[in-house]
Chain A
Amino acid sequence: MKVNVKIQGLTPIAGRVRLDVLEMIRAAGSGHPGGSFSAVEILVELYWRIMRIRPEEPDWEDRDRFILSKGHACPALYSVLARRGYFDPAELLTLRKFNSRLQGHPDMNKLPGLDASTGSLGQGLSLACGISHGIRLNSRDSRVYCLLGDGEIQEGNIWEAAMSAFHYDLKDLTVIVDRNLVQLDGHVSDVMEIEPLVDKWLAFGWDVIVADGHSFISLEKAFEHCEKTEFPSVIIANTVKGKGVSFMENTCIWHGKCPDEREYTLAVGEIQGELS
């Protein structure tokens, strides 16, 4: 049940999500703005255009599934779920607080709309593979989407799962790598090089497509391609860590840092400026 929103209509939604993320992290006093901002357009595209979902019926059996393997980007996912109607956006400001359903990393047993609990990096792709097997055994046709961080794919578990998805022809599985080039300690290429990234996935038997992870047009084309392929598919989504706030972009400083009041005001101004 795709919502009929024109692609241009998604840009204000992405801006709203970025403002939510900023407010949530400010209210929490901690969180991960950098990797949340890089994933915003990917999440908005998925939840508004691509995925078959029913926010009013989160456990609908025929829904498409989404696994946020890079669980620390959950502020962006929580905002997307709230804005898409899974729960009241007023709850967003409880992020990371005691008794909140919005845990520091996603807890599916607390919050509706989450298809898995994640947070320990490297595990989401195996979950997605298992779900994909289960959907097939249940003779359903749902698709499974899994968002990985580029630093995250340094985990060996990812490549075990990548091998398995090809071996079992899991063509209804699409991975998106949030290729923002930066991880906690610095640039991915300095910490632990993951290139040649396209060749690695190709070598594992996947259908690989490169997209601009901040362009809805580019992402939409990529997802359409993935729906048609006969192989498990991966979108290498080139993104900018901290996208949307100039001083947060392309730096590891904002991987897991809360803005102070001055920084918050500046950031809100920049995002609102983009929207107007």
Chain B
Amino acid sequence: MKNLRPTREGYVEGILQAGRENDRVVVIEGDVSRSIGSASFEKEFPDRFFNLGVSEQDMLGEAAGLALTGFIPFVGTYGVFVAGRAWDQIRTSICYMNLNVKIAGAHGGVSVGPDGATHQALEDVALMRVLPNMHVLVPADANQTRAAVLTSMNTAGPVYIRFGRNPVPQIYPVDESVEIGKGHLLEDGSDITLVACGAMVSLALTARKFLSKRGISAGVIDMVSVKPLDRKLLIEQVQKTGAVVVAEDHQAIGGLFGAVAETLSVQYPVPAGVVAVRDSFGTSGTPAEVREKYKLTAETIVFEAERLME
């Protein structure tokens, strides 16, 4: 078993490093700083940390105000609340003015587990992706999350970074970097392309091994930059394989699958499958139980790939 680490640890490492590198970085929290871990930023930079209580709408508006005076605010709270409750604030007060606000959506996907449906962000990527000027990053492990934070600090305009709650296998080295608009080709393949983001990337890598035993050569793209999507890499790979399976811990509507389907249907149509939540709310349970119920597993990725290969 590879080392497991929660991606939120990467978020905390990222904002601490960002805070040390750039004194314009400030952190805004909404009463979940001990859950996300950003309380350690408060310890090191008390003057640049604002806990605004349980008030997502105000958090995003105040972040916009700080950006208007030249700061780079990182706003952290649970993805379901930040992307849903404060969507209009993000739209009008941040994206419309194209302000330099970085939004961290924690607790992404059903793999949050026991907290249940109300706390499992399943629509956040769709809600953020549709906004003009917004960038959307969905990192796969702690090191990539840390890199996503540093990249977003150096990217002009709004960025949404989505990460999970539970430990996931480490995929990337500590010096991993993230580039806006670039995916990672983790494994080359000739029969089918698996495109995944976030917690589903390690499952896609596992699925690739199963497929290889059955004589199917699957490529794996970690599409960490969901918006802008790495269309070049996607089309290059799909031209080679002729089929694609998208895996994400999110609704099948509007997220990474939406982005991939929008691109391929216009530019290079191929048979496609999806492993994601199918127009449903989540439920309580252990992360493993919940993933099993919604079929967010390596086995389902294998099944979808084989179905397309028939």
Query: For the complex, what is the distance from the CA of A138 to the CA of B65, rounded to whole Å?
Result: 13
User: In chain A, what residue has the closest Cβ to B61?
Assistant: A126
Contact of B58 among A120, A134, A161 (CB under 8 A): A161
A130→B68 contact, CB < 8 A:
yes
Residue B60 CB within 8 A of the other chain: yes
Residue B50 CB within 8 A of the other chain: yes
Q: How large is the interface on B (under 10, 10 to 19, 20 to 34, 35 or more residues)?
A: 20 to 34
Query: For the complex, what is the distance from the CA of A157 to the CA of B65, rounded to whole Å?
Result: 14
| B66, B73, B98 — most chain A CB neighbours (10 Å) | B66
* B-contact 0/1 string along A90-122, CB 8 Å cutoff: 000000000000000001110000011111101
User: In chain A, what residue has the closest Cβ to B65?
Assistant: A130
Query: For the complex, what is the distance from the CA of A167 to the CA of B55, rounded to whole Å?
Result: 13
A107 nearest CB across to chain B (Å): 8
Interface residues of B in 210-230 (CB under 8 A from A): none
With A126-B61, A126-B64 known to touch, is A134 a contact of B69 (CB < 8 Å)?
yes
A11 nearest CB across to chain B (Å): 33
B66→A134 contact, CB < 8 A:
yes
Query: For the complex, what is the distance from the CA of A79 to the CA of B77, rounded to whole Å?
Result: 41
With A134-B66, A135-B69 known to touch, is A108 a contact of B97 (CB < 8 Å)?
yes
Residue B207 CB within 8 A of the other chain: no
| A122, A130, A132, A163 — most chain B CB neighbours (10 Å) | A130
* A-contact 0/1 string along B109-128, CB 8 Å cutoff: 00000000000000000000
Binds A, one of B85-93, B146-154, B245-253: B85-93
User: Which residues of A have CB within 8 Å of B60?
Assistant: 126
Residue A257 CB within 8 A of the other chain: no
B69 nearest CB across to chain A (Å): 3
User: In chain A, what residue has the closest Cβ to B55?
Assistant: A160
User: Which residues of A have CB within 8 Å of B89?
Assistant: 123, 126, 157
Task: Please report A residues at the B interface, Cβ cutoff 8 Å.
Answer: 107-109, 115-120, 122-123, 125-135, 137-138, 156-157, 160-161, 163-164, 167-168
**9 intermolecular pairs with C-beta atoms under 8 Å apart:** A119-B92, A120-B88, A123-B57, A123-B89, A130-B68, A131-B65, A134-B66, A137-B26, A160-B55
